[in-house]
Structure 1
Amino acid sequence: MMGTSCDRGRSGPGSRTIEAMLPRDHLLRRVDRLLEMGKLRAALSSHYSARGRPSVDPELLIRMALIGRIYAITSERRLCEELRYNLAYRWFCRLAPGAAVPHHSTFSKNRHGRFRDAGVFRLLFENTVRRCLAKGLVSGKDAAIDASFIAADASWQRKVLPANLPDASRASRPVREWLADRTRVPEPLTGTGKGFPSVSRTDPAAAWSARTVRGRFGYALNVMIDTPGGAALEVEATPARFAEEVAAGRDMLARAADRFGYRPKRVAADKAYGSAAFLAFVRDQGALPHIPVIDRSEQTRGKFPREAFTYDRGRDCFTCPAGKALAHRGFHQPTGVHRYRARPDDCRACSLRQQCTSARGRALCRMENEDARDLARAQMRTGLFKRSMRLRRGVERLFADAKVKHGMGRLHLRGIRGAEEEFLIGAAVLNLLLLARPDHAGSRSLAGK
Structure 2
Amino acid sequence: MRGEDEASEGLFSYVSCSARVPKDHPLRAIRRLVDGALETLSGDFARLYAKLGRPSIPPEKLLRALLLQAFYSVRSERQLMEQLDYNLLFRWFVGLSMDAPIWDVTVFTKNRERLLEGDVAAKFFGAVLDQAEVKQLLSNDHFSVDGTLIEAWASMKSFRRKDGKDKPPGPGRNGERGFHKEKRSNETHGSTTDPDARLYRKGDGQGAKLSFMGHILMENRNALIVETELTQASGTAERDAALAMIDRHSPAAKRITLGGDKGFDVTGFVGELRERNVTPHIAVDAHLTKTGKTRKTAIDGRTTRHLGYAISQRIRKRIEEGFGYIKTVAVLRKTRHRGTARVGFMFTLAAAAYNLVRIPKLLAAIP
How high is the TM-score relative to the length of structure 2?
0.82
CA distance in 1, matches of 2:186, 2:45: 44
CA distance in 2, matches of 1:239, 1:306: 28
Q: How does 1:339-358 map to 2 (within 5 A)?
A: none
Q: Give the 3-state SS of the residue equivalent to 2:16 in structure 1.
A: helix
Change (3 A) 1:106 1:385: same
Shift of 1:111: 2.8
CA distance in 2, matches of 1:29, 1:124: 18
Structure 2 stretches lacking a partner, 5+ long: 1-11, 166-183
Shift of 1:265: 2.5
Change (3 A) 1:98 1:265: same
What does residue 193 of structure 2 align with?
A: 202
CA distance in 2, matches of 1:442, 1:14: 39
2:313 to 368, 379, 389: 389
What does residue 32 of structure 2 align with?
A: 33
What does residue 323 of structure 1 align with?
A: none
Change (3 A) 1:159 1:382: same
Deviations 1:15-55 (A, max 9, x none): 74322221111122111111232333321212322122222
Q: How does 1:367-378 map to 2 (within 5 A)?
A: 373=298, 376-378=300-302
What does residue 90 of structure 2 align with?
A: 89
What does residue 18 of structure 1 align with?
A: 17
What does residue 246 of structure 1 align with?
A: 239
2:363 to 440, 445, 448: 440
CA distance in 2, matches of 1:74, 1:298: 44
Contact 1:159 1:201 in 2 (8 A): yes
The structure number with the bigger radius of gyration is 1
Q: Give the 3-state SS of the residue equivalent to 1:35 in structure 2.
A: helix
Are 1:215 and 2:208 counterparts? yes
Change (3 A) 1:247 1:154: same
Q: Which amino acid aligns with 1:81?
A: E
How high is the TM-score relative to the length of structure 1?
0.68
Contact 2:70 2:350 in 1 (8 A): yes
CA distance in 1, matches of 2:74, 2:188: 34
CA distance in 2, matches of 1:83, 1:262: 48
Shift of 1:194: 5.8
What does residue 324 of structure 2 align with?
A: 400
CA distance in 1, matches of 2:115, 2:81: 19
Q: Give the 3-state SS of the residue equivalent to 2:236 in structure 1.
A: helix
Change (3 A) 1:267 1:14: farther
Contact 1:266 1:287 in 2 (8 A): yes
Change (3 A) 1:14 1:221: farther
Q: How does 1:136-151 map to 2 (within 5 A)?
A: 136-151=136-151
Change (3 A) 1:247 1:88: same
What does residue 277 of structure 1 align with?
A: 268
Q: Give the 3-state SS of the residue equivalent to 2:131 in structure 1.
A: helix
Q: Which amino acid aligns with 2:18?
A: E
What does residue 180 of structure 2 align with?
A: none
Aligned positions, number: 333
Shift of 1:296: 8.1
Q: Give the 3-state SS of the residue equivalent to 2:193 in structure 1.
A: coil
Q: Which amino acid aligns with 2:116?
A: R
CA distance in 2, matches of 1:407, 1:142: 29
Change (3 A) 1:17 1:49: closer
Q: Which amino acid aligns with 1:386?
A: A
What does residue 356 of structure 1 align with?
A: none
CA distance in 1, matches of 2:289, 2:164: 46
Q: How does 1:91-106 map to 2 (within 5 A)?
A: 91-106=92-107
Change (3 A) 1:278 1:301: closer
Are 1:156 and 2:79 counterparts? no
What does residue 173 of structure 1 align with?
A: none
Contact 1:142 1:264 in 2 (8 A): no
Contact 1:264 1:287 in 2 (8 A): yes
Contact 1:256 1:262 in 2 (8 A): no
CA distance in 2, matches of 1:151, 1:48: 33
Q: Which amino acid aligns with 1:131?
A: Q
What does residue 225 of structure 2 align with?
A: 232
RMSD: 3.0
Change (3 A) 1:15 1:109: farther
CA distance in 1, matches of 2:286, 2:278: 21
Deviations 1:59-100 (A, max 9, x none): 111111010011111300000001000000000011011111
What does residue 286 of structure 1 align with?
A: 277
Shift of 1:148: 0.7
Q: Give the 3-state SS of the residue equivalent to 2:199 in structure 1.
A: strand
Are 1:121 and 2:121 counterparts? yes
CA distance in 2, matches of 1:97, 1:231: 35
Q: Give the 3-state SS of the residue equivalent to 1:392 in structure 2.
A: helix
Are 1:131 and 2:131 counterparts? yes
CA distance in 2, matches of 1:407, 1:224: 20
Structure 1 stretches lacking a partner, 5+ long: 1-12, 166-192, 308-369, 444-449
Are 1:428 and 2:352 counterparts? yes
Shift of 1:140: 2.0
Contact 1:152 1:206 in 2 (8 A): yes
Q: Which amino acid aligns with 1:18?
A: C
CA distance in 1, matches of 2:223, 2:17: 34
Contact 2:70 2:329 in 1 (8 A): no
Shift of 1:297: 9.7
Change (3 A) 1:40 1:301: closer
Q: Identity of aligned pairs, percent?
A: 26
Contact 1:222 1:249 in 2 (8 A): yes
Q: Which amino acid aligns with 2:131?
A: R
What does residue 180 of structure 1 align with?
A: none
